[in-house]
Structure 1
């Protein structure tokens, strides 16, 4: 019997990485590959039922913390030694650092997908320099890089992150079958208390600095002055939720705003939109954009 190739995936950040992994793993050939997912507790095991052979949760956090990160590295190293994978595939910058350091000296083939370089984030110059230095330092521990766009490859080249021969562009895709299932079960305006004649402007994404929910609600106030029946929908949740709600109350448009919180079927809400937005301060690749396109929505 042919031996399966064992791939150990490591991921800390949920959101886009979570969706990327679900669609990637769904279409892996189970006859040829064995997939093990090592992830933070931001991931839900039910989402990976029947698409991974093992689901292992490790304490990993987004923020840099010497104590927490060292503990995560030790845990991941132990798993790598136990699982003996053929390939270690690390996703996004935090898991990318933890996984590559954890594998040091074990000498597996290591593949790294940054899902958008951390040094391209909207942050201070010192932080950007630190992220660049980390990427350069860890480059020798990486066999192959997966860039999710041509721009991401160019950015790596311009910042001299690694040798050109290690950089591979594999464009992101979306799971059309899953998207169409969600779109077929569109949420009704009535269920959300939105008037049938409302002009709905919506955005799918975390309510965090990257996705600019502050810009969304500031824009909403201006739009409301011109379009009296406008209604605004944010599909998601996050640390800026209260800031958005507070601004909406201050400007008197809280009754024209719906925040859904986390949902399992975000595209079911896109059916409500007259206009779909993505106002990110930075993106590797906004997966929701081709999903909006599939839903035939005009995009800002």
Structure 2
């Protein structure tokens, strides 16, 4: 079957995180803080997230994305919303959960979305995933006509450490190093792509919350070690009951860890289903250092949040 017609592509994933490095065998790109999507572009734009949810109706400003490419193609890209010129994950994630068309249009007018394309999987009438990355990049640069809706990810060769330091100075998320000869394996985690992050981020399960003074909310975090749910502490900065209440959750009458961890006697326990992103300073310890709640994600099941 033609991959363009069946529209079930799962993006290739990164399996490793390392410190920044220099190598002539890699290119280096900025790691953007958005939602990973695949767009099928022909006589219309069909954009889907990693769980194959149709995103175009939620981002109507991108419904003419197909007019910005020269021919039928499939693009792998990041979906972004910028605030003050910087990607804001919370804004793009908040929009992705909207259902009211009026509110969607208001959000689109206030903070219009755009995409940054970094790979192409299909060109004209054929799949090109088995071409080396640098050949795919040539197709990508040829097919995209850049404007305020779409841009092509820039890359540099050799100097990964320099790019990382520039990204760090701009308070961006990090960089991705990609082998020049890497092929595109759908849905597979690959060591050919390596992320180097300024801040460490973890996907955690929200297992409960504690209401604190000054209207603050502390979220109780967990991750799986094989099939066992492990307590991972709290995140308070950036978290709020208001944000939590924008999502469906189920209150339960017991700790999902099988015991009440110290300092959690006042917790309201939740069924461990909601996944959130926690950003923290890198540390070799098991706990998070200066954790910051970055948003709730609906594109990852809780069981995949591993230590």
TM-score bucket of the superposed structures, by smaller chain: under 0.3
TM-score, normalised with respect to structure 1: 0.28
TM-score, normalised with respect to structure 2: 0.27
Structure showing the higher helix proportion among its residues: 1
Structure showing the higher strand proportion among its residues: 2
Q: Compare relative contact order (CA 8 Å, sep 6+) and give the higher one, 1 or 2.
A: 2
